[in-house]
Amino acid sequence: MSIRVLVAKVGLDGHDRGIKVVARLLRDAGMEVIYTGLFQTPETVALAAIQEDVDAVGLSMLSGAHLTLAPLVVQALRERGSDIPVVVGGIVPSNDLDDLRQAGVAAVFGPGASAREIVAQIRSLVSTSP
């Protein structure tokens, strides 16, 4: 059974090259990837994740809105009774990592994160989720 990952761009961030690269590397690692496209809301991401029955959600955050939008995605999932792990990739200052973790984000991948690291972390999160 393949790991299913939904990847999304939340908010007004229109830079999608990185998320497309990550989607490809996840596919190359044998995962099934659902890409929701640009300009999603936290609610649409949560609903799509639940409807698609994914194992993890990956958010690409380059706009500086990670402290607002990522926690809203986690909250929208939890309000719907879902414990799907949420990971964030992109430009995230190191002093924001604790706040994201406290908000329920399972992992953060900054610039330079390797494909091996991303794939291993997602596999680990999926294997440990209830």
**pLDDT tens sequence across 16-66:** 988 999 999 999 999 999 999 999 999 999 999 999 999 999 999 988 889
- Residues in Cβ contact with 22 at an 8 Å cutoff, skipping those fewer than 6 apart: 7, 58, 60, 89, 118
**pLDDT tens sequence across 71-96:** 999 999 999 999 999 999 998 999 99
Which structural domains are found in the chain, ordered by start? 4-118 (3.40.50.280)
**pLDDT tens sequence across 96-129:** 999 999 999 999 999 889 999 999 999 999 997 6
pTM of the model: 0.95
